Amino acid sequence: MRILRVLAPNPGIRELEGTNTWIVGDGPSIAIDPGPDDAGHLREVAREAGHLAAILLTHDHPDHAPGAAALAAATGAPVYAARPPEGAKRLTDGQRIVVGDVVLSAIATPGHTPDHIAYFDERHRSLFTGDAVLGRGTSVIDPPEGDLTSYLRSLRRMRELSPSVIYPGHGPVVLDAPGKLEEYVQHRAAREEQVLAALASGVRTPEEIVPAIYGDHPADLHPLAARSVLAHLLKLENEGRAERRTTAGAVRWTLLEPRTCVRCGRPVKGRGLLCGPCSLAVLQESG
């Protein structure tokens, strides 16, 4: 089955060489992520696609989605997305798009954005990952739209699909999909350890944590790295392992000592004395 990349002319820190627009299938074909609304790029996508029968979006970021309307107008192909732009069709998790002999399943993979969808060709075990997995470097998790807890869940879900090849939204094709997904999971676990160690050493804000753990990265990447550190802090807060305090408008983060429920000994989230089930039980007993 034909899988062809047309590279959009939008290189950048987040976009690497530019957005990969993937064309899948040789009879009627599917285009995944038309990219920015760039006339030259879209002309090339339409020419390479031949009979374009569907346009799929992984998510609605400006480097992936805005070209969809012009490409749809030029080709008549319908647009599908989880958070559809005007005139597009809404995709839900597990839905299949069948075009000629191409069958792609929509895999909800929130984390980079809440609406992120990956597309899986089960027969060839090809996974189109948008910004959830890149060919090089790591995916940007920028809160509040980016959510690390759901992102880690999505990584595990993609791993469970057992893909063989990853076609990312940016960067080169990944020929060892399981290895890349494992690398991504390990990378986030290692970063979390570093964030915990930085908090333990008395560092209190993302901007202070970044030089401590991204010292080897060029300084122009540090603002992006601070967003990633914030994503880790929010995950730790959500798990009751870190907390933030705002004094005079400045947010400072500290570690929370792990606590156990005074009633049953199970771990407790945050500062409470009782775990969730015990609080409920005590409420019912007293009610």
Binding residues vs Zn ion (CB under 5 A) = 61, 63, 131, 169
Q: How far is the CB of 33 from Zn ion (least distance, A)?
A: 8
Least separation in angstroms between CB 113 and Zn ion: 6
Cα separation values, 221 from 15, 147, 227, Å: 13, 20, 10
What are the C-alpha distances in Å from 73 to residues 37, 70, 88, 257? 12, 5, 12, 57
Among positive and negative, which fits the CA dihedral 273, 276, 278, 281? positive
Nearer to Zn ion, 226 or 275 (CB): 226
Nearer to Zn ion, 134 or 236 (CB): 134
Distance, C-alpha 90 to centroid of its chain: 19
Shortest reach from residue 116's CB to Zn ion, in Å: 8
Q: What sign does the CA torsion over 148, 150, 156, 161 have?
A: negative
Comparison of 61 and 180: residue with beta carbon closer to Zn ion: 61
3-state secondary structure at position 105: strand
In degrees rounded to 5, what are phi and psi of residue 238?
Answer: -60, -30
Q: Which residue number has the CB closest to Zn ion?
A: 61
Q: CA angle, 33 as apex, 84 and 231 as ends, to 5°?
A: 75
CB of 196 to Zn ion, least distance (A): 27
In the complex with Zn ion, the residue whose CB is nearer, 135 or 169, is: 169
Distance from chain centroid for Cα 41: 25
Minimal distance, residue 22 CB to Zn ion, in Å:
13
Comparing CB distances to Zn ion, the nearer of 140 and 278 is 140
